[in-house]
Amino acid sequence: MQVRRYYYHNILFYIDTLKQENIQLKLMSLIQKINEKVYNKFSSAPVCALNLAIMSGFLEPREKLRLIISCEEIYKKTGVGSVSKLVLDKMTLTVNYYEDTYSIYLNDTNVKALINKTFIPTKTAEHGLSFIKKEDELNLTKNWPGDDIIEVFKFIYVLIDEDLEEILPEDIIENLFNRIMPRLGYSNISKSISLIIFILKIIRAVVFGIYNFKKRNK
């Protein structure tokens, strides 16, 4: 059985390619049923079915908008950490809610989807930010970098909503390290200092553990 794994940046989407056409038909009928039910009774399953349908391109834009409005309300009511099931046409759609993701299992098919509610960068991307060091800053300020590098910095400024027109060209790099990078979650603390902080945290945890243990034994 051939299983294709589709990667989107916030979605892991598995489909059994051999049954894909069959699944499409099933999803279509499922979404129609969900659409009817949404207005009568609130249920959390349509939220996931909707996302599944959007990503697979089964819904018309008008339907998408109509459903997403209803689904936002549904989501607010159901909250996180819940499991719900919706039985339609002998198919069961199981939805598991967690804090950051929700997963969908459509029984009788191999449709499985894990959807992150927020963007989660890959480890490579996260570590990529920490490669910039103080030496690089000095190097970049001494030797004015080429246009391509400046464009990269401009890209970051736009992401952070900083007004580029207010910043002088020579301040671009300096501002980047002092103001912009901390907002991206990158700290300029050296490795030795972060190691000391880590050790202190361990010591605090141990002391706290011993204190609690003694307290319980008393």
**Residues within the interface to another protein (CB under 8 A):** 8-10, 54-57, 61, 64-65, 68-69, 72, 118-119, 121-122, 124-129, 131-133, 136, 140, 145-149, 151-152, 154-156, 158-161, 183-185
CB 203 to another protein: min, Å: 29
Closer of 81 and 147 to another protein (Cβ): 147
Q: How many CA atoms lie within 13 A of 49 on its CB side?
A: 34
Closer of 81 and 146 to another protein (Cβ): 146
Closer of 73 and 108 to another protein (Cβ): 73
Closer of 10 and 94 to another protein (Cβ): 10
CB 69 to another protein: min, Å: 7
| Alpha carbons 4 and 14: distance in angstroms, whole number | 6
Phi-psi region of 27 (alpha: psi -120 to 50; beta: other; left: phi over 0): alpha
Q: How many CA atoms lie within 13 A of 177 on its CB side?
A: 18
Q: SS in 3 state form for 51-83?
A: HHHHHHCCCCHHHHHHHHHHHHHHHHHHCCCCE
CB 57 to another protein: min, Å: 3
**Neighbour count for residue 63 (Cβ, 10 Å):** 16
Q: Which ranges of the chain does DSSP label H, i.e. alpha helix? A: 20-38, 45-56, 61-78, 123-129, 134-142, 147-159, 172-175, 181-183, 191-217
- 111, 18 contact by CB (below 8 A): no
CB 51 to another protein: min, Å: 9
CB 159 to another protein: min, Å: 5
Closer of 57 and 79 to another protein (Cβ): 57
SS3 state at 212: helix
CB 59 to another protein: min, Å: 8
| Alpha carbons 182 and 152: distance in angstroms, whole number | 17
Closer of 16 and 162 to another protein (Cβ): 162
**Neighbour count for residue 140 (Cβ, 10 Å):** 19
